[in-house]
């Protein structure tokens, strides 16, 4: 069967990544041989080479899917299908009809998914200028703090105080791969620093200015800078991005990861840009209205006497039915 052969020194980080991406096949045992760990794979994972290996089958226990079939009445079968993995916390997004069963589901989840220590459930959308979300505790350890690992980095955070999305891991790596040595980067809405720290770890920027309005996010960013050895690379700034960016040198690259409100700051980002600056502009776009957003971007540039050349557009992830979180890669001329 398919498996991954990983040096022992990288085994723990590989195990966590495979768990977080649902790629570790728990039906089979991990084993060690000649300085390597062999992981059974349920699916292929980008960046992890796979091969054909023999694995010993575990004693079979009730799976989470089997627990769900036992807990839920037949008319609700298949209605639970989504959760976010943030460190060792699982965040459920339950439909209303599942509310009477959510605690039993959470307890079954912890029994069958050993990586996780806490289960929370979303109880509302993102709120306020700090983009925090309300949660309710369901099972395990009663806490909202954790350490999330991604691309070899560790991010400490408190879900009750800061915004963080594990679903942008691929996008963060994509942007980091575009950064040239010596670039000055401005991360206008940095949160706890995943974009900024990924760029520092996987590129060679001159400096990254990381801005956020939320003091708790900046406090966690400072902790994460130390945890990841990025004190010579990332410069944290607590304040309004609109004001902070005007006080900085014109950057080579700007990251605008604030999908619902980035349009309110786009003109300010363009004003702070120089010829050749790249802006990664994230917004929410309805299906079929991608060209309208292009026109909006180009009009904002003309208002500042500049030209916006759109080098790429991609849907990053679904946001709601018929809308997507979308990134436009813009070059200012």
Does residue 39 share a domain with residue 76? no
Does residue 116 share a domain with residue 82? yes
Does residue 228 share a domain with residue 181? yes
Residue 308, pLDDT score: 97
CA-CA distance, 245 to 136, in Å (whole number)? 36
Main-chain phi, psi angles of 314, to 5 degrees: -150, 145
- For residue 136, the domain's CATH number is 3.30.300.110
Share of the chain above pLDDT 90, in %: 85
Q: With contact defined as beta carbons under 8 Å apart, do 115 and 65 qualify? A: no
Residue 320 lies in a domain: yes
Residue 288 lies in a domain: yes
User: Whole domain around residue 84: which residue ranges?
Assistant: 64-143
Residue 299 has which token pair?
Answer: 């009009």
Does residue 106 share a domain with residue 250? no
Q: What angle do CA 100, 101, 107 make, to 5 degrees?
A: 140
Q: Indicate the length of the chain as a whole number.
A: 333
Does residue 322 share a domain with residue 288? yes
- Is the whole-model pTM more than 0.95? no
Does residue 202 share a domain with residue 292? yes
* pLDDT, tens digit, 9 for 90 and up, residues 95-127: 899 999 999 999 999 999 989 999 999 999 888
Q: How many CA atoms lie within 13 A of 186 on its CB side?
A: 29
Domain end (from 112, 143, 174): 143
Does residue 303 share a domain with residue 199? yes
* Residue 295, burial from CB neighbour count under 10 angstroms (0-12, 13-18, 19+): exposed
Residue 57 lies in a domain: no
Q: With contact defined as beta carbons under 8 Å apart, do 168 and 191 qualify? A: no
Please name the residue ranges forming H helices in the chain: 11-20, 64-71, 102-112, 169-178, 194-202, 215-227, 241-244, 266-272, 290-303
* pLDDT, tens digit, 9 for 90 and up, residues 245-294: 999 999 999 999 999 999 999 999 999 999 999 999 999 999 999 999 99
Main-chain phi, psi angles of 216, to 5 degrees: -65, -40
Does residue 238 share a domain with residue 174? yes
CA-CA distance, 160 to 144, in Å (whole number)? 6
Does residue 31 share a domain with residue 85? no
Does residue 202 share a domain with residue 136? no
């Amino acid at each position: 069967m398919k498996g991954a052969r990983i040096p022992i020194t990288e085994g723990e980080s590989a195990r966590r990544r495979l768990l977080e991406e649902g790629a570790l096949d728990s039906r089979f045992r991990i084993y060690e041989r000649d300085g390597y760990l062999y992981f059974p794979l349920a699916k292929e994972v980008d960046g992890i080479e796979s091969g054909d290996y023999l694995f010993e089958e575990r004693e079979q226990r009730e799976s989470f899917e089997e627990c769900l079939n036992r807990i839920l009445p037949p008319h609700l079968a298949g209605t639970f299908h989504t959760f976010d993995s943030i460190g060792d916390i699982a965040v459920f997004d339950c439909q209303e009809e599942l509310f009477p069963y959510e605690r039993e589901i959470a307890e079954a989840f912890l029994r069958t998914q050993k990586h996780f220590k806490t289960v929370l459930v979303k109880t509302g959308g993102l709120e306020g200028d700090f983009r925090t979300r309300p949660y309710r505790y369901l099972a395990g350890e009663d806490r909202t703090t954790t350490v999330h690992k991604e691309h070899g980095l560790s991010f400490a955070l408190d879900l009750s105080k800061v915004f963080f999305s594990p679903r942008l891991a691929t996008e963060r790596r994509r942007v980091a791969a575009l950064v040239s040595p010596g670039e000055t980067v401005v991360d206008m809405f940095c949160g706890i620093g995943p974009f900024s720290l990924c760029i520092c770890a996987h590129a060679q920027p001159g400096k990254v200015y990381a801005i956020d309005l939320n003091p708790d996010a900046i406090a966690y960013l400072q902790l994460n800078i130390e945890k990841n050895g990025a004190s010579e690379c990332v410069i944290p700034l607590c304040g309004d991005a609109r004001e902070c960016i005007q006080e900085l040198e014109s950057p080579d690259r700007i990251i605008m990861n604030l999908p619902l409100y980035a349009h309110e700051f786009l003109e300010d980002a363009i004003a702070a840009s120089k010829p050749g600056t790249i802006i990664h502009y994230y917004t929410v776009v309805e299906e079929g209205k991608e060209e309208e957003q292009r026109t909006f971007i180009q009009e904002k540039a003309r208002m500042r006497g500049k030209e916006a050349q759109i080098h790429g557009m991609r849907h990053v992830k679904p946001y709601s039915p018929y809308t997507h979180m979308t990134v436009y890669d813009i070059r200012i001329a």
